Amino acid sequence: MKKVKVIKIDVDKCNGCRACEVICSAFHAAPKYSSTNPERSRIRTLFDPLKDIYVPVIAGEYTEAECNGRDIYTINGKEYDECSFCRASCPSRELFKEPDSGLPLKCDMCEEEPPLSEPMCVQWCLNDALTYEEREEEGEEEEKRREMEIGLESLVKKHGVKTVMDTVTRLAKH
């Protein structure tokens, strides 16, 4: 059996306060809580007050190539931009990329030892737009790929393995 962690998003309850972005970026800052910057958050709230649109989107997988096609959603008469609900860190946009390094950002469910009772964004959403659930499913636990491995892989794809190795070697000498 494997444990599946789910954050349920109730779009109707989100008022765009962006507390989730603040706490996610602070929790993942190094050192922890040393800074807040929504651009470093693994959850971003799609924001259009004029159309009364607030949709929290949680960062998913890094993808090397953007999609060839696009989707446009109309919900309750409101049209959402192409790619709005996509969770990918993708070359077509700046969303879910570390602003300084360009490395992909991905939600890690705030994994910690000892584990948190609930992810930080859920704890900080006072409107209950985010709620947390765990369930058991058939199947093996997937091997968890750490953030560093995903980041290194994207650097290798961007710059080539030799450049990355040379840089690491140079840094190690300092």
Dihedral of alpha carbons 55, 81, 49, 42, sign = positive
Tell me the closest approach of the beta carbon of residue 108 to ligand SF4, in angstroms.
5
The tokens describing 57, both together, are 């989107």
Among the candidate windows 17-25, 64-72, 95-103, 145-153, which touches ligand SF4 by CB under 6 A? Answer: 17-25
Segment 19 to 58, residues that bind ligand SF4, using CB under 6 A: 19-20, 24, 27, 42-43, 45, 54, 56, 58
CB 57 within 8 A of CB 26: no
Number of residues that bind ligand SF4 (CB under 6 A): 27
Where are the strands (E) in 61-172, listed by range? 73-75, 78-80, 130-137
105 binds ligand SF4 (CB under 6 A): no
Three-state SS for 43? Answer: strand
Segment 126 to 145, residues that bind ligand SF4, using CB under 6 A: 127, 129-130
Three-state SS for 60? Answer: coil
90 vs 130, which CB is nearer to ligand SF4? 130
Tell me how many degrees the CA angle 29-96-48 measures, rounded to the nearest 5.
110
Which residues lie below 8 Å from residue 114, measured CB to CB, with a gap of 6+?
none
Among the candidate windows 75-83, 101-109, 147-155, 156-164, which touches ligand SF4 by CB under 6 A? Answer: 101-109
Q: Which residues bind ligand SF4 (CB under 6 A)?
A: 14-20, 24, 27, 42-43, 45, 54, 56, 58, 107-110, 119-121, 124-125, 127, 129-130
